[in-house]
Chain A
Amino acid sequence: MSVAPTFAKRDWPLMLVRRREFGVVAAVVVLVTVTTVINPGFAIGSDGFRNLLLTPSLLVILAVAQAIVIITKNVDLSVSAVLGLTAYATGLLFTDVPGAPLPLVVVAGIGLGAVLGAVNGFLVSVARVPSLVITLGTLYIYRGIDVAWAGSDRINATDLPSQFTALGTASLLGIPVMSIVAVAVVAIAAYVMSQTRAGRQMYAIGSNGYAAQLYGLAVRRTVFIGFVASGTLAGLAGVLFAARYATVSSNAGFGMELQAVAAAVLGGVAIVGGIGTVLGAALGAVLLTTISRALPTLGIGDFWQQAVLGALIIGAIVLDRAIAARQARRLRSAHARAAAVARKEPVS
């Protein structure tokens, strides 16, 4: 019914179904089912179904970006500002350069995101200042540039070519193009993070940076690449934002940085680094957006959404902690048993 579970099954065998991703998918399915029973329009009918797929797309991309950076034991608080800046730049390129070819503008927007990400990566890896501080600073700076540049100006739908805004509304075989882009981003990022050397190095650096350095991994370069990836994806999200909403003011994406972190944490990406998957983060984003859309139907006022979200994140991290503690206990007792066997003592 929803795209997420089939995606999870097709691409990820049993070993991941046991993990956090499965729980998140289950939560989404239950949530969508219950909400649809109460209000059929939520998922059934062309509008409901489309919205179900379309709404999470932007946050999914930001959550993937965030997950990549968090896995390297960093954090990127500037993603929302990068989104806002690239969205505005994209819109402005269309208005100031009439007849600019569409693919070129899209690439320019994404490229701007990559540059902004590279600035973060450079500051973090060269000055070796914690990314929390650097990206907090660039969050201010990028948003400030956005506001200074845009002023009270807005990009309106009439300024944008219809082919471009069609990107935000068009569907392919009944599935919105934006959702297809988001799924492609998740698939590529999941492949890179789990199957390629660069991805595995990110996990290694996130679990133990010191060991990774001793082992000879290029820690700085890898962290830098992580930030460039995050900026690039945020840039892509910015371009899609412009296409989807067709109106871009200077506060586009405001506050989404914490939602992206929340989605990643909800999806099992541990803030301490080295743990979690981009798929989990993406599903966390789907769950988060679906919850905010479902709450009014479930009779919980709009205004309580954030409180529910906060409680949910606390629940998720406490659960992670409990599972990790249980696993550690089990490993310890297995170890003790093995030691007892080695000493030829009876196992209690």
Chain B
Amino acid sequence: MTTTMDASRRTPAARPVAARARSLLLGRDAAVIVLLVAVWLIGSVSVDNFAKPNTVYFLLLDVLPIVLIALPMTMVVIAAEIDLSVASMLGLSSVIVGVLFQHGWPVWAAAVVALGIGAVGGALNGFLVATVGLPSLAVTVATLALFRGIAVGLLGTKAVTGFPESYKDLASDRLFGPGTAIPAVLLVFVVLAIGFGVLLHFTAFGRATYAVGMSAETSRFSGVNVRAVKFWLFVATGAVSALAGIYWTLRYGSARGDNAVGLELTVVAAVLVGGVSIFGGRGAIPGVIAGALLIGALRAVLRLADVSADAINIATGVVLIASVVFPRILSGVRGRRRRSRRRGLEPEPSLE
């Protein structure tokens, strides 16, 4: 609804809309990246130990599940939907790995099953949203409870531990030997980021995702299979969340039903800070990666500066709100200036 309003308000401007949108987008992405660099520099200069490889290493490990899930979430939000069930799926996947491991399965086989369950859970979301036509906010609030409920139901308050060291090392090994900053597991993210980046920005499916987010109806009339696009996006979020769950289990060496409670909100925050429009149709993968890193870096800086965890949450909230409010205010000011310029030429239309 609001998108239609926006569109109808913008068309009369009749300026090269695409060019303007592109410059806005670039500006937006650039702003996040500049902010990230600024936080990084300020952190390095003013906070002890921030620039140490070890800090960067732990920052990357901490941010990994967020930025992993943010990749498919970006596409879901660009398609004007949302998936709030991701953290619950992460927990469920972690519990599946744990329970199967407890029953004597090898970890890799348990992980494969967990990935499969992730895809199935995502398909359930996708089916309810794309085929039944339910609003994704309602559906994924429900599956948030459902997936978390199954996870907690299976394990209760118990935790499965004792995973083989070789698997745990997978999640914590460093790429260039001891003491260096880059965790080896980052390679998984790099591969997925390239994959999702290519999918979103260089394929027909990616263009269809933007089209669906701009206007589902128009894209249907132009021959886009809206249902299929939405369905597969939810399958992707489910599977990647399950992957993040496997990582979580191995990194902390413990499968628990309440792993990553509330992480969905951080993922959404990262995506929105990264410049994706909640109205759909706008956003890009590089911006989102910068957004997730920005939130991660901010948290790391504040933590090292001995700021308490709660103040860090306040900062996350402020960044989230500022990242959406400022562009709106700026565009509002710009629009008003344009309108008043026009008003000088035309008789003022009476409003009341």
Q: Which residues of A contact B (CB under 8 A)?
A: 73, 75, 123, 127-130, 132-134, 136-141, 143-148, 208-210, 250, 255, 258, 261-262, 265, 271-272, 301, 303-311, 313-314, 317-318, 321
The answer to whether A139 touches B5, judged by C-beta atoms less than 8 angstroms apart, is: no
Interface residues of B in 111-159 (CB under 8 A from A): 128, 132-135, 137-139, 141-150, 152-153, 156-157
Nearest CB to that of B308 among chain A residues? Answer: A148
A115 to B142 Cα, complex, angstroms: 30
The answer to whether B139 touches A140, judged by C-beta atoms less than 8 angstroms apart, is: no
A35 to B1 Cα, complex, angstroms: 45
Asked if B4 CB lies within 8 Å of chain A CBs, one says yes
A10 to B145 Cα, complex, angstroms: 34
A308 to B279 Cα, complex, angstroms: 31
Q: Which residues of B contact A (CB under 8 A)?
A: 1-2, 4-5, 82, 128, 132-135, 137-139, 141-150, 152-153, 156-157, 257, 261-262, 265, 268-269, 272, 278-279, 308-318, 320-321, 324-325, 328-329, 332
The answer to whether B135 touches A305, judged by C-beta atoms less than 8 angstroms apart, is: no
A210 to B5 Cα, complex, angstroms: 7
The answer to whether B265 touches A313, judged by C-beta atoms less than 8 angstroms apart, is: no
Query: Which of A127, A130, A144, A255 has the most chain B CB atoms inside 10 A of its CB?
Result: A144
Question: 20 other contacts beyond A133-B278, A136-B320, A147-B308, with CB at 8 A cut-off?
Answer: A128-B328, A132-B137, A133-B321, A137-B317, A137-B318, A138-B317, A138-B321, A143-B313, A144-B311, A145-B314, A147-B313, A148-B308, A208-B1, A209-B1, A265-B138, A303-B257, A306-B148, A307-B152, A310-B146, A313-B142
The answer to whether B141 touches A313, judged by C-beta atoms less than 8 angstroms apart, is: yes
Q: A132-B137, A311-B146, A317-B138 are in contact. Are A144 and B310 (CB under 8 A)?
A: yes
**Contact among A262, A306, A318 for B132, CB-based, below 8 A:** A318
Q: A140-B313, A310-B147 are in contact. Are A303 and B128 (CB under 8 A)?
A: no
* Least Cβ–Cβ distance between B210 and chain A, in angstroms: 18
Collect the chain B residues with CB atoms within 8 Å of residue A306's CB: 145-146, 148-149, 152-153
Collect the chain B residues with CB atoms within 8 Å of residue A318's CB: 128, 132, 134
A133 to B77 Cα, complex, angstroms: 12
Nearest CB to that of A136 among chain B residues? Answer: B265
The answer to whether A147 touches B135, judged by C-beta atoms less than 8 angstroms apart, is: no
A250 to B261 Cα, complex, angstroms: 17
The answer to whether B265 touches A139, judged by C-beta atoms less than 8 angstroms apart, is: yes
